[in-house]
Structure 1
Amino acid sequence: MHRRPRLTWLLAAAVALAAVTAGTVWWLTRPLEVTAPVGAADPACAELAAKLPASVQGQPRVATSSDSPAVAAWGDPAVIWRCGVRPPGPTTDECIEVNGVDWVRHPLKDGQSFTTFGRDPAVQVLVPNAYAPEPLVLPPFSDVVAAIAQGEHRCR
């Protein structure tokens, strides 16, 4: 008689552990919540998306909540690519050149936002502080964005 309660307790513990593990796995594989930008339907965004790297800073690509090719992410914390954002106008934010592509850098609470300058559609790359120095994440993105012609606006 004493074995049955122990067996019941062990079975209950095993079921609870399985439920927690399944919940954890589900949480880890849940797509990253990312919104497609206003200009995501621009055909150039789909062309650029086909050239995006499989990994960034050694981090694999991760699933996002958006089915738009204008959105992509890599790693945890995620580096996020968004094509079709509004092109930046005149700004006092820092403007840097990486592999021939101009980027406007805007500091965020937990990282940096980089938006192409003088290209349409504009591309935004969000880089968490975990990848500091953040501009070192941009070269593979600059190589992709270089396919968009540089307009008259440039970093000076």
Structure 2
Amino acid sequence: MTSSHRPFGLPAAVAAAVLLSAAAGCSSPDATASVVVPSPPAEEAAFCQALAKELPGTVAGLARSDPEPGSELTAGWGDGAIVLRCGVPRPEKMSDPKAQAIEANGVNWMLERPEGSGPRFTTTYRKAYVEVTLDERYAHDATPLADLAAPVRKAVPPSL
């Protein structure tokens, strides 16, 4: 399958098709139980702390298993299969007009495919950037983003 470039704000059906074609061929991340904890400005950290209180105990059927070091700015499910970091810096890729995006339950996410790992998604149009990294089992499945959308919508207001 070939990947097509789509602008942010796509209808969900089109965005899902972009996700499926864009994520093809992703490799799995190194199995690790640690992540770099972001250090956002105070206002963004407050949104992230609110998000931490809203996060579910399971995502895509996987139980919560937070990475080390423990922080309100990070969360995980399935022993590293799904890792969330809140308050990350704005990715440079967001300036690329050809950046790929998906909409999941009212939250827009930019897609990146780092070499040597599964897909990485970062929220767009929010007052704090939330990053979700998935392992290869989710290369063709946006379910984790759908499960995280309601907490993100509730805790991190739009920047528009």
TM-score by length of 2: 0.69
| Percent of aligned pairs sharing the same letter | 32
Q: Please state whether the residue corresponding to 1:142 is helix, strand or coil.
A: helix
Match status 1:149 vs 2:157: yes
**Aligned pairs (5 A) from 1:1-156:** 32-39=33-40, 42-88=45-91, 89-91=94-96, 92-108=98-114, 109-147=116-154, 148-152=156-160
Once the two structures are superposed, residues 73-116 of structure 1 have per-residue CA deviations (whole angstroms, 9 ceiling, x without a partner) of: 11044200000011344223201111111100001333100000
CA-based RMSD of the aligned residues comes to 1.9
* Cα distance in 1 between the residues matched to 2:100 and 2:143: 15
Cα distance in 1 for residues equivalent to 2:60 and 2:87: 23
> Unpaired segments of 5 or more residues in structure 2?
1-31
Paired with 1:48 and 1:113, the residues of 2 have a C-alpha distance of: 19
Q: Which runs of 4+ in 1 moved over 3 A?
A: none
Identify the residue that residue 4 of structure 1 maps to in structure 2. Answer: none
User: Which entry has the higher C-alpha Rg, 1 or 2?
Assistant: 1
Of Structure 1 and Structure 2, the greater strand share is in: 1
Partner amino acid, structure 1, of 2:139: A
**Structure having greater relative contact order (Cα 8 Å, sep ≥ 6):** 2
Tell me the distance in 2 between the aligned counterparts of 1:68 and 1:35.
10
Structure 1 gaps of 5+ residues are: 1-30
Matched residue count: 122
What is the distance in 2 between the residues matched to 1:142 and 1:40?
23
Which residue of structure 2 aligns with residue 22 of structure 1?
none
- What is the TM-score with the length of structure 1 in the denominator? 0.70
- Describe the superposition over 1:11-43 as per-residue Cα deviations: whole angstroms up to 9, x where unpaired: xxxxxxxxxxxxxxxxxxxx8111111218611
